[in-house]
């Protein structure tokens, strides 16, 4: 799944590919927002970990990754 995280006062969003399902990612985000740690922690498919303070979250967009088409033919 592709995850885009908007951070307040940051010019660009954070984009990562996760091996988790949309439901799992939604649960992790909800737990971070209601939890005591105040930190959203996600890991991408390459093992990179992203930590964002929950008080700085602007939005979290969870969606399917875009598949790039290769070639000149119209299918």
Question: Does the residue 48 lie in any domain?
Answer: yes
Question: Does the residue 9 lie in any domain?
Answer: yes
Identify the pLDDT of residue 52.
95
Tokens of 53: 């303070």
Tokens of 4: 């885009």
Report, in angstroms and rounded to the nearest whole number, the Rg of the chain calculated over CA atoms: 14
pLDDT grade, residue 34 (50/70/90)? Answer: very high
Span 1-24, pLDDT tens digits: 899 999 999 999 999 999 899 999
Question: Does the residue 10 lie in any domain?
Answer: yes
Question: Does the residue 72 lie in any domain?
Answer: no
Question: Does the residue 75 lie in any domain?
Answer: no
SS3 assignment, position 60: strand
Question: Does the residue 16 lie in any domain?
Answer: yes
CA distance 44 to 72: 32
Tokens of 57: 């979250």
Question: Does the residue 68 lie in any domain?
Answer: no
Question: Does the residue 71 lie in any domain?
Answer: no
CA distance 56 to 75: 43
Find the domain containing 42 and state its range.
Answer: 2-63
Report the DSSP beta bridge partners of residue 16: 3
Number of domains the chain is built from:
1
């Amino acid at each position: 799944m592709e995850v885009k995280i908007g951070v307040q006062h940051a010019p660009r969003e954070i984009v990562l590919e996760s091996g988790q399902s949309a439901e799992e990612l939604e649960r992790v985000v909800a737990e971070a927002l209601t939890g005591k740690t105040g930190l959203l922690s996600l890991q991408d498919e390459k093992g990179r970990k992203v930590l964002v303070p929950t008080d700085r979250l602007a939005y979290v967009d969870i969606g399917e990754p875009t598949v790039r088409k290769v070639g000149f033919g119209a299918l």
